[in-house]
């Protein structure tokens, strides 16, 4: 038997070339089962002529026990602290997100906004050099050990996932287990 795991979504696969689509159809035709992690992946695989009964959804998850051990109570100062956890790369939608936050800050001068990025990547230096409005602070924290992630979430007010193309981010599961609301992207 051949089981194919497809870690993809309609967003991650937008604009793929004909050759790749043809090759995928050939491979998937021989699969006994196809695993996807969500509805968008299922729709994409179905668009490649895979029958629905051969597609099985296996959602991403993580062991949330580490995050459940901490209080979900937050200090009032964290309410407007937005937390972005993950790679600092273009696909994560960081630059458009910062532009929207800056516009909000310019329109709401009496309010302050804090954004903390936790992670590393090619956009790290661009973010560090960027000049936000006076009522907006941006901080970058290097990637941390997984065991210390509950403290990272404890210091945030809202987890923001502004991705432009992802299938699922485990930070959503972690943040929710830590008691953080999550502001996600349609992608």
Residue 149 binned pLDDT confidence (cut-offs 50, 70, 90): very high
Distance in angstroms (rounded) separating the CA atoms of residues 12 and 150 = 29
Sheet strands (E) in 45-108: 55-57, 81-85
The model carries a pTM of: 0.80
3-state secondary structure of 168: coil
Instruction: Read off the pLDDT of each residue in 161-166 and give the average, rounded to a whole number.
Output: 90
Tell me the average pLDDT across 62-73: 83
């Amino acid at each position: 038997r051949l089981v194919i795991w497809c870690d993809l979504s309609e967003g991650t696969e937008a604009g793929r070339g004909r050759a790749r689509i043809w090759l995928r159809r050939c491979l998937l035709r021989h699969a006994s089962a196809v695993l996807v992690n969500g509805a968008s992946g299922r729709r994409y695989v179905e668009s490649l002529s895979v029958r629905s009964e051969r597609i099985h959804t296996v959602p991403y998850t993580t062991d949330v026990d580490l995050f459940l051990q901490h209080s979900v109570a937050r200090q009032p100062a964290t309410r407007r602290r937005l937390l972005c956890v993950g790679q600092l790369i273009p696909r994560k939608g960081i630059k458009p997100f910062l532009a929207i936050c800056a516009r909000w800050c310019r329109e709401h001068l009496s309010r302050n906004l804090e954004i903390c990025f936790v992670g590393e990547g090619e956009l790290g230096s661009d973010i560090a050099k960027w000049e936000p409005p006076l009522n907006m602070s941006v901080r970058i924290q290097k990637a941390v050990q997984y065991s210390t992630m509950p403290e990272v979430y404890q210091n945030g007010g809202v987890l923001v996932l502004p991705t432009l193309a992802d299938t699922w981010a485990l930070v959503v599961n972690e943040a929710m287990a830590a008691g953080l609301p999550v502001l996600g992207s349609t992608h």
